[in-house]
Amino acid sequence: MSLPKPYYDDGNGIVIYNSDCRLILPHLEPVDLVLTDPPYGIGYVHGAENIPNATKFQGVAVHGDDKPFDPSPWLQFPVSIMWGANHYANRLPGGGRWLVWDKRAGTKTYGKDMSDVELAWISGPRRADRLFAHLWDGFLKDSENGVDRVHPTQKPVALMHWCLSFYPDAQTILDPFMGSGTTLRAAKDLGRKCIGIEIEEKYCEIAVRRLQQEVLPL
């Protein structure tokens, strides 16, 4: 099987494939860094945490989250930053370091049914763990105010900017579980190349719209 035609290619290094990432991976050229928020394998369904005000994502499941996540294909890359790694930490090698995203950022919303923080694991030698405080709690947000969320597990572009800031020399990024394209949007903002792979076409379409905005409000 040859590499399929991209769903989107902006001609400047931002490329999207609408496919299962396992089919695309063997055909990719080398990349410098993987930055992704994969399905964690926890059967997550938005709204199951007893959220008082339902949203348009109420009851929406995450594709592929009904099976245990295998991180091993992404450990072959020079650097991998994988969110939700606390849910599959027993399948990660020793070493690495942790990134902690404080989603409540000192507000009085701590202690809800949803987690106050999210964790990412970075492959490679053990280094200092880091914390990023950035409010992202329903309508309470430190960035992207007035911008609708378009994915049930969407993360802020600012978070992906922060992740990429640790690796300024990584010029080609891969997100094999692209979702709504947040990693690609961050890479574009920073003038880096990025390949996104997403199995659901509706999110590929959404990602293209986000990428075509000249400046995403932060």
Side-chain-facing half-sphere of 70: CA atoms under 13 Å: 6
Spatial separation of the C-alpha atoms in residues 66 and 85, rounded to whole Å: 16
In the chain, what percentage of residues exceed pLDDT 70? Answer: 83
Q: What domains lie within the chain, and their CATH numbers?
A: 8-44+55-212 (3.40.50.150)
Handedness of CA 102, 154, 142, 130 (dihedral sign): positive
150 residue type, one letter: V
Segment holding 206, helix H or strand E:
helix 201-212
**pLDDT score of 49:** 44
- Backbone angles phi and psi of 20, in degrees to 5: -75, 125
- Mean pLDDT, to the nearest integer, of 139-150? 85
Spatial separation of the C-alpha atoms in residues 192 and 206, rounded to whole Å: 20
pTM here is 0.88
Spatial separation of the C-alpha atoms in residues 178 and 135, rounded to whole Å: 22
Mean pLDDT, rounded, of the chain:
88
Lowest mean pLDDT across 12-21, 26-35, 98-107, 149-158: 149-158
